[in-house]
Structure 1
Amino acid sequence: MITACLNGARLRGAHPRLPVTAEELGVDAAAAVASGAGMLHVHPRNALGRESLSAADVVAAVAAIRGHAPGVRVSVTTRDGIVTDHLAKLRALREWPEPAEGGPDCASVNWHEPGAVEVARVLRARGVGVEAGIWTPRAATAFVSTPWPWQVERVLVEAIPGSSPGSNARWSVERILAALGMSPQPLLVHGEQGWTWPVLRWAQAAGHHVRIGFEDTLVLPTGQEAYDNAELVAAALGGDARSHAHR
């Protein structure tokens, strides 16, 4: 399976077709799914275009995506830095409705962030699935020392230049995987920035789930700027129809 990560924390000016508003996310999600994405991950925004954890903004983004791409699971972020502190994050998450009432199907929790277990507990209490984001071997060790490996929906092995160990994408991923050991849940392995495509191709060959989109990179394997998220998804799956259509 391939997840399309549509926007991340990027600012509007990063790319002319970066989806920010709920409606833009919905339209972009439909195009990504048409290109082969089986799941979607987004960072909802408020009226000012800033990342938001508020229930109203999360529900608006999820509703727009479900309206344009029905039946596809929608994941949202809970990353640090969106709200002022950990307690504010927990308060925001407790206001989220359950998935059947308009909330997201699941949410990513960065396990290296303080209070990750508390965040995961709140999500589970709201009926929202947990994706454990593991950026480092230390985070992997902390994760496997808890009962959470059996409670999450999937494990995100994330190779982030400057945050994950080492200066080589594959080496970094292999160190994290070694610390995780055997996972009882599916692994989604991805890289960001210059590590995006090397990690994606390695993960595909290894049989893991992968992700691609403007959160991870703005460029195709050739180094050319991608037209949109759908073109990135098509490139990840080995297609080039959208590339020919837009050039």
Structure 2
Amino acid sequence: MIQACLNGSRRPGTHPRLPLTPAQLAEATLSSATAGAAMVHVHPRDERGLETLDPHEVVAAVGAIRERAPGVRVSVTTRDGIAGTSHEKLALVQAWPGPELGGPDCASVNWHEDGAAELARTLVTRGITVEAGIWTPQAATRFVATHWPWQVERILVEAVPGTSRGSTGRWAVERILAALGMLPAQVLVHGADVWTWPVLRWARSAGYAIRIGLEDTLVLPSGREAHDNAALVEAARQEVGGVATWPLRRPT
């Protein structure tokens, strides 16, 4: 399975085709899904192009994606730094509607951030499933010590230079996976920046789900700037082969 991460926390202007508006996110989803992505992960933006957890903006982004690319599962971020404090973040997420009322299908929760378990509980009570973001072995240990491995939709093992320990992305990922041990949920492994493509190749060869998009990298395996998210998904599909393609039926 390929997840397309369409924009992340990148600033407006970072890339000429970085999707920011609901309409742009919808078009990027359609082209990425056509290229081979089974689902998308997005960071909704406000009218200035800045990340937001405001429920109206989240619903607008998700709604536009579903209208343009029905059947593609939509994940959104809850990362620290968008809202002022963890309490403000929780209050905003508590106002999100469930998927049947226009909210996202799932949301990522970074387990190294304060209040992760409470935020995850809030999402689940709204019918929004959780993707657990694990960036370090310490976060993995913290995650495994709870009951959450049996409640999440997916575990995101994320190798982020400067945050995840290790001189290479594979080294960082293997340490996180060792700390996680055997898990009941699907595991998606990905790297960021210079670790993106080496980790993607390793993850697919090891049988894990993968992700790619302008959130993680702006360049193709050749080092050339990618035209857009769809070009990155197509490159990933060619690198690994044999992945599911859109349209897929949404889970019932």
Q: TM-score range by the shorter chain?
A: over 0.9
> 1:109-142 CA distances to partner (integer Å, 9 max, x unpaired)?
0000011001101101111000000000000000
User: Does 1:102 pair with 2:98?
Assistant: no
SS at match of 2:37: coil
**Amino acid in the other structure paired with 1:174:** E
1:33 has 2:33 as partner: yes
The number of residue pairs the alignment matches comes to 239
Residue in 2 that maps onto 1:90: 90
Amino acid at match of 1:110: N
SS in 2 for 1:13: coil
Any idea what the Cα deviations from partners look like across 1:87-126, whole Å, max 9, x if unmatched? 1011101110010100000000000001100110110111
The corresponding residue for 1:177 is: 177
CA shift at 1:39, angstroms?
0.5
Q: Does 1:215 align with 2:215?
A: yes
Matched residue type, 2:159: A
In 2, distance between residues paired with 1:166 and 1:210? 20
Deviation readout 1:52-75 (Å, 9 max, x if unpaired): 101100000000111111011100
Quote how far apart the aligned CAs of 1:12 are. Answer: 1.4
Secondary structure in structure 1 of the residue aligned to 2:238: coil
Deviation at 1:48, TM superposition (A): 1.4
- Whether 1:131 aligns to 2:131 is yes
Aligned to 1:75: 75
Given the two structures, how large is their TM-score scaled by the length of structure 2? 0.94
Looking at structure 1, the residues matched to 127 and 187 of structure 2 have their Cα atoms a distance apart, in angstroms, of 21
Query: Could you tell me how far apart the structure 2 residues matched to 1:222 and 1:61 are?
Result: 32
Match of 1:9 in 2: 9
Q: Quote the Cα distance in structure 1 between the aligned partners of 2:126 and 2:85.
A: 20
CA distance in 2 between counterparts of 1:235 and 1:123 reads 33
Q: 1:159 aligns to what?
A: 159
**Counterpart residue number, 1:63:** 63
Q: Deviations over 1:25-80 (max 9, x none)?
A: 00111000000000100000011111010110000000011111101110000000
TM-score, with length taken from structure 1 = 0.96
Distance 2:46 2:170 in 1: 36
The superposition leaves residues 145-197 of structure 1 with CA deviations (integer Å, 9 ceiling, x where unpaired) of 00000000000000000000111111110000000000100000000000000
Q: C-alpha distance in 2, partners of 1:68/1:208?
A: 28
Identity across the alignment (%): 64
Deviation at 1:20, TM superposition (A): 0.4
Structure-2 residue corresponding to 1:243: none
Runs of at least 4 residues of structure 1 off by over 3 A? none
One-letter amino acid of the structure 2 residue matched with residue 220 of structure 1: L
Higher relative contact order (CA 8 A, sep 6+): 2
Q: Which runs of 5+ in 2 are unaligned?
A: 240-252
User: Shift in Å at residue 19 of structure 1?
Assistant: 0.2
Q: Who is 2:234 aligned against?
A: 234
Counterpart residue number, 2:122: 122
Matching residue's letter, 2:30: A
Helix, strand or coil: the match of 2:13?
Answer: helix
